[in-house]
Structure 1
Amino acid sequence: MKKESPTKMWNTLRNITLVFILFIFIRYEFDEDPYNDRIGWSVLVVFWISKGLFDAIEDKRKWNKKSMVANIVFVIAGLGVLCWQGIQFFS
């Protein structure tokens, strides 16, 4: 039995996580309750943050610093939007 390489396992974990987050987004976005749309869009922001983090880690492994920095900036912007929406939600 062959042993899977760490990059193949990493890609599998990444894809499963991203698909799971997308399913959560679809569940909240396309139901009858309009209140859940806000939650669905917040989950979509979490999807883009997760994708940015996974891409930044992959770029670090490949020594692609420019792309890594761009992904980190993207993640920080997403976290800012998520915090802003959280503050609006709770106030």
Structure 2
Amino acid sequence: MDNNTNHKSIARKRGVRIFFNIVFAVFIIGAISFFFDDNPYNVHLGWFTLLGLQVVASLYQMWIEIEDKHRWSAVFSFLLAVGALTLLIVRGTQYLI
């Protein structure tokens, strides 16, 4: 029973890791496409995409650290995510106005 539970846990972690790697790749491809676009105003959108990547990556890292019982590292990752999200919201509203 314990071996079967361990196998399911490993398979679930692998699936989550694959999902987040796909999300990271989409963010990076989106940012690159905005940076090298013909429209010079899309560079801001590329930076916003990279900030979104930072938010998602920090939250994913926080989740991993919580599972590994690294509380202070998880708090630091959460603060990085909050900082990136704050910067994303502040700069995004300035860009829209």
Which residue matches 2:70?
64
| Matched residue, 1:7 | 13
Q: Tell me which structure has the larger Cα radius of gyration.
A: 2
Shift of 1:14: 1.0
Among 34, 37, 42, the alignment partner of 1:28 is 34
State the 4+ residue runs in structure 1 displaced beyond 4 angstroms: none
Aligned-residue identity in percent? 21
**How far, CA to CA, are the matches of 1:13 and 1:87 in structure 2?**
30
Aligned residues: 90
| 1:65, distance to aligned residue in structure 2 (A) | 0.5
Q: What's 2:45 paired with?
A: 39
Residue 90 of structure 1 and its aligned partner are, at CA, apart by 2.1
- Counterpart CA distance in 2 for 1:52 and 1:19 is 15
User: How well do the aligned residues superpose, as a CA RMSD in angstroms?
Assistant: 1.5
Normalising by structure 2, we get a TM-score of 0.87
Counterpart code for 2:73: S
Q: Which residue of 2 aligns with 1:83?
A: 89
| Structure 2: tracts of 5 or more residues without a match | 1-6
Of the structure 1 ranges 33-42 and 4-13, higher mean CA displacement relative to structure 2 is found in 4-13
Structure in which a larger fraction of residues adopt helix: 2
